[in-house]
Amino acid sequence: MNSRNKKTAEVSDGPVSMADLAKELGVSMTTVSRALSDHYSIGPATKQKVLKLAKKLNYQPNQMAAALRKGKSKLIGVIVPYIEGRFFPSVVHGIETAARKAGFSVIICQSNEDVAHERKNIETLLNAQVAGILVSLSRNTRDFKHFEKVQKRGVPLVFFDRILEGDNVNAVVLNDREGAYQTTRHLLEQGCRRVAHFAGLQHLNIYKNRRQGYLDALRSFDLPLDEELIIYSDMTLEQGVAGMKQLLALPNPPDGVFAAGDSSILGALQLLKSRGIRVPQDIALAGFSNEGFTAITEPMLTSVDQRCEEMGQATVRLFMELVEAKGTPFYQRQVVLQPQLFIRESSLHSGKR
Partner DNA sequence: CTGGATTACATAAACGATTGTGTAATTTAT
Partner DNA sequence: ATAAATTACACAATCGTTTATGTAATCCAG
Residues that bind its own copies (CB under 8 A): 14-15, 60-65, 67-68, 73-75, 82-84, 88-90, 92-93, 96-97, 100, 105-110, 123-129, 152-153, 266, 292-293, 296-298
C-beta closer to its own copies: residue 11 or 249: 11
Q: Which of 51, 57, 66, 335 binds DNA (CB under 7 A)?
A: 66
Q: Does 327 bind DNA (CB under 7 A)?
A: no
C-beta closer to its own copies: residue 243 or 299: 299
Judge whether 285 and 301 are in contact, CB under 8 Å: yes
Q: Does 71 bind DNA (CB under 7 A)?
A: yes
Strand partners, 308: none
CB of 59 to DNA, least distance (A): 7
C-beta closer to its own copies: residue 128 or 225: 128
Cis peptide before 280 (omega within 30 of 0): yes
Q: Does 85 bind DNA (CB under 7 A)?
A: no
Q: Which of 61, 85, 89, 191 binds DNA (CB under 7 A)?
A: 61
- In this structure, what are the phi and psi dihedrals at residue 133, rounded to the nearest 5 degrees? -130, 130
Pairwise CA distance, residues 56 & 66, whole Å: 22
C-beta closer to DNA: residue 59 or 88: 59
DSSP of 190-224:
TT-SSEEEEE--TTSHHHHHHHHHHHHHHHHTTPP
Closest CA to 76 of 128, 147, 6, 5: 128
C-beta closer to DNA: residue 326 or 352: 326
C-beta closer to its own copies: residue 86 or 333: 86
The C-alpha angle with vertex 280 and arms to 279 and 282, in degrees rounded to 5, equals 80
Q: In Å, how far are 246, 279, 320 from 170, measured between CA atoms?
A: 40, 41, 12
Maximal C-alpha separation, the chain: 91
E-state strands within 25-176: 75-80, 105-110, 132-135, 157-160, 170-174
C-beta closer to its own copies: residue 218 or 241: 241
CB of 169 to its own copies, least distance (A): 21
Pairwise CA distance, residues 277 & 197, whole Å: 18
Q: Does 224 bind DNA (CB under 7 A)?
A: no
- Partner whose binding site includes residue 46, from DNA, its own copies, none (CB under 5 to 8 Å by kind): DNA
Judge whether 347 and 284 are in contact, CB under 8 Å: yes
User: Which region holds residue 168: left if phi is over 0, alpha if psi is between -120 and 50, else beta?
Assistant: beta
Q: Does 48 bind DNA (CB under 7 A)?
A: no
**Total Cβ atoms within 10 A of residue 40:** 5
Which range binds DNA by CB under 7 A, 16-24, 91-99, 184-192, 301-309? 16-24
- Partner whose binding site includes residue 220, from DNA, its own copies, none (CB under 5 to 8 Å by kind): none
- Partner whose binding site includes residue 44, from DNA, its own copies, none (CB under 5 to 8 Å by kind): DNA
Q: Which of 6, 10, 65, 326 binds DNA (CB under 7 A)?
A: 65
Q: Does 46 bind DNA (CB under 7 A)?
A: yes
CB of 11 to its own copies, least distance (A): 11
3-state DSSP call for residue 109?
strand
Q: H or E element: which one contains 314? A: helix 308-324
Q: Does 41 bind DNA (CB under 7 A)?
A: yes
Q: Does 27 bind DNA (CB under 7 A)?
A: yes
- Partner whose binding site includes residue 36, from its own copies, DNA, none (CB under 5 to 8 Å by kind): DNA
Residues lying near DNA in the complex (CB under 7 A) are found at 15, 17-19, 26-31, 33-34, 36-37, 40-46, 59-62, 65-66, 68-71
